[in-house]
Every structure is written in structure tokens, then in C-alpha cells.
Amino acid sequence: MTPTPDSPYREQVVGLLTQHGKERVIAPALETALGCRLRVVGGFDTDQLGTFTRDIARAGSQLEAARRKAQLAIERSGLPFGIGSEGAFGPDPMVGAMPWNAEVLVFIDAQRGLEVVGEAQGPGLQLDAWARDWADVVALAQRVGFPAQQLVLGIGPDGTPPLIKGLDSWPTLEAAYAQQRARSSTGKVWVETDLRAHANPTRMAMIGQAAADLAARLQQQCPCCGTPGFWKVQRLAGLPCAACGAPTRLTRAWVHRCLRCQHHETRVLAAGTLAAPERCDHCNP
């Protein structure tokens, strides 16, 4: 990504609230694009705001949680710029059969009173199952790419403590299995993928994509007032068909709008962009 020469965040320090190593993927994307520097804001247990293992429930939506972390980054660092990140897992939105991971990054610019949100979503690595014996644990571990992908062992699917998290080696996994098995009244142990960023490489990559999205949005400045985050707010359909020229349902243009002034622009896709006739209601009704 090429840096924006006139980025208002050049040489500025941006606080990031994380305890799970997310700076590894967020810093390269933002620092390269904007010329800013990221500072990790520690000393706050982000698990207090909710955990994937259900032992602490998240209050509010995913976006609200990310926004809260960005605000905390500003409050705790005294910097005017803060970033918070929040992930969610669930079934995929198309068929509902595949684990799906959605990541949100909220950037708050307290100087300008701006909030810009970066997003990414796609297939995620989330798997859980009962293990009747050690062989079941080994099979599941191998299926998810343990130990790069870490595991959590519990005594049931409801997140009831004690949970043993952050298992990242075969000896610690085996010891944790023996402990949970001794606690379990049925002899079965609950195994699940650790969904925290540093323990889930697939998720960490998705956070990197959300950071790239955020960087791209912050690089776009309003042509009138220079405010960053001049981004797509509305899609206009009607891309002409390559065969008959009729308007299709595909995107013809995007309306971009400033977060601060009234300025907005309709940006049409590059000249010569046409829809394939298979997507045309006239040619392929």
C-alpha cells in the first residue's frame, strides 16, 4: 500500500487497546498507509468486556464493544487517536453451515470528532466437540492445526469454569486433559478452538484485512474539507450489459460522502466496465 503524502495522521501516535497481540497485523497496515505510529495501550484486561469462551458475556453489539475499546485507548493513553477491535463468530450468512468470522476495527479521532470503521469477514476456524478419550483430543487438535491454532479445554459446552485456555503445546494439552477429565462427572472433556487473536492464526489474518480496510478508508480525504474517511455510503446499480447495453443489477457507481461537511460525490466505475451478459435480465432472463 502506498502512503498518502498528505495524511493528517503522519507522525501521529495512535493508541491501540489490545492484550492479544493484534498490533502484529494492525500496525503494519496503518503505519504504512498513513505514516502514523501505533502504541499498544496495555494495563487493561479486555476480557472484562467479554470473552469468546462465554465465561464473561459481552455487553452490547460487536461495534459497540470495539468502540468502547477505542474510547478506552484514548482515555488510558491521553492520545487523541484510538483504535479498538472486536471479533465475532457464527454461522456463515449464505448457507449457515460454515463457521464465519467477522472483524470490526473502530478508529476514533477525538480531535476532529470522527469515527471510521474498518471491516472484514470470511470463513473462520471455530470447532468444538466432546472428547471421550485422549485419541479424540488428538484427532481434533490435528484437524485444526494445533499447536499454531490453540485449544481450550472445558467440562461442558456452556463455558462453565474452570476453563483451561491458551493450550499451545502437546505436553500442556495432555496435562490439561488429565485435569479436566478428573473434574468431569461423565469422563468426557469439552474441546474447543481458542478464538482469541494470538491463539487463532486465521482470525489474526482477518483482523489484518480489517486493518487494511480501515487504512484505505482513512486514506480517502474529502475533496472539499480534507476530512479523512471520505467513503462509500450508497451503491448505485445499473452497470450496462456488455452485449445489449441495458442496465443490469450490478454496481454502476458509488456515492461517497464526507463525515463532516455536506460534500458528496457519485463515483462511476472505470470507463469500459461492463456486465457479463449472463448477469443481464434481457440477455439471460
Query: Interface with Zn ion by CB under 5 A: which residues?
Result: 222, 224-225, 227, 241, 243-244, 258, 261, 263, 280, 282-283
User: 3-class SS at 269?
Assistant: coil
Q: Collect all residues with Cβ–Cβ distance below 8 Å to 40 and sequence separation of at least 6.
A: 16, 18, 23
Q: Could you give the CA distance from residue 71 to residue 206 in angstroms, rounded to a whole number?
A: 22
Closest approach of Zn ion to the CB of residue 45, in Å: 39
User: Closer CB to Zn ion, residue 126 or residue 227?
Assistant: 227
Question: What are the CB-based long-range contacts (under 8 Å, 24+) for 51-59?
Answer: 52/87, 52/89, 52/194, 52/195, 52/196, 53/152, 53/154, 53/159, 53/163, 53/165, 53/192, 53/195, 54/158, 54/159, 55/159, 55/160, 55/161, 55/163
CB of 238 vs Zn ion, minimal distance in Å: 12
Residue 21 or 226 with smaller CB distance to Zn ion: 226
Q: In angstroms, rounded to a whole number, what is the distance separating the alpha carbons of residues 123 and 115?
A: 27
Please report how close the Cβ of residue 243 comes to Zn ion at its closest, in angstroms.
Answer: 5
User: How many other β-carbons are positioned within 10 Å of the β-carbon of residue 153?
Assistant: 22
Nearest distance in Å: CB 251, Zn ion: 16
Between 34 and 258, CB nearer to Zn ion: 258
- Cβ atoms 211, 106 nearer than 8 A: no
**201 phi, psi to nearest 5 deg:** -60, -35
Are 248 and 261 a contacting pair, CB within 8 Å? no
- Name which of 268, 232, 265, 266 is nearest 250 in CA terms: 268
Tell me how far apart the alpha carbons of residues 239 and 253 are, in angstroms, rounded to a whole number: 8
Give min distance, CB of 235 to Zn ion, in A: 20
How near is the Cβ of 1 to Zn ion at its closest, in Å? Answer: 23
Question: Minimum distance between the CB of residue 250 and Zn ion, rounded to whole angstroms?
Answer: 11
Closest to Zn ion by CB, 86 or 109: 109
Q: How far is the CB of 264 from Zn ion (least distance, A)?
A: 9
For residues 118 and 109, is the Cβ–Cβ distance under 8 A? no
| Nearer to Zn ion among residue 6 and residue 158 (C-beta) | 6
Q: Which is nearer to Zn ion, 100 or 231 (CB)?
A: 231
Comparing CB distances to Zn ion, the nearer of 199 and 239 is 239
Quote the DSSP letter at residue 62.
H
Question: Residue 37 or 264: which CB sits closer to Zn ion?
Answer: 264
Q: Is the CB of residue 165 less than 8 Å from the CB of residue 53?
A: yes
